[in-house]
Amino acid sequence: MSARLSLPARGTPSRLVKSLARLIGGVAPRPLFPLLALEGVTTMPWASATFDGARHRLDLRLHGDAADIGDALDRLVDGLADHEFDLPGQIVASARLVRLSVDPDPAVVAVALTVEVLTVMD
């Protein structure tokens, strides 16, 4: 059974989540992705002396078969630093996995993770 990926209505957070779903999903991205659930998005303005942008915190949960979750995590860990995000007018300055925890319930195979992405205006 697949669950719809719930996304922020529009804008950069929505594009970030869709792009991460493609990365985690592998070669064939699907609009219905059975392993990924979005639990929260926080966006805060960010600026330096020369750049304006935003810091995005994406709280996600992977659930399903242990082997599928392992493959998805491998793709995320191996590809996140070099992943090409589709963000018109913005550049991803950094993207990193900042939290990973396994659900302690033995009846459910689930992993909670948080990804932080810093974007700057192009």
pLDDT tens column, 37-75: 888 999 999 999 999 999 999 999 888 878 888 888 999
Angle, vertex CA 102, rays to CA 109 and CA 31, nearest 5: 60
Residues of the chain above pLDDT 90, percent: 49
Task: Label residue 103 by pLDDT band (50, 70, 90).
Answer: confident
pTM: 0.82
**Sign of the CA dihedral with 82 first, then 12, 61, and 66 last:** negative
Note the maximum CA span of the chain.
Answer: 50
Which is nearest to 12 in space by CA: 46, 62, 48?
A: 46
DSSP structure string for 54-96 = EEEEEEEEEES-HHHHHHHHHHHHHHTTT-----TTEEEEEEE
Give the contacts of 73 (CB within 8 A, at least 6 positions apart): 62, 100, 111, 113
pLDDT tens column, 80-92: 999 999 899 999 9
Q: How far apart are the first and last CA of the chain?
A: 40
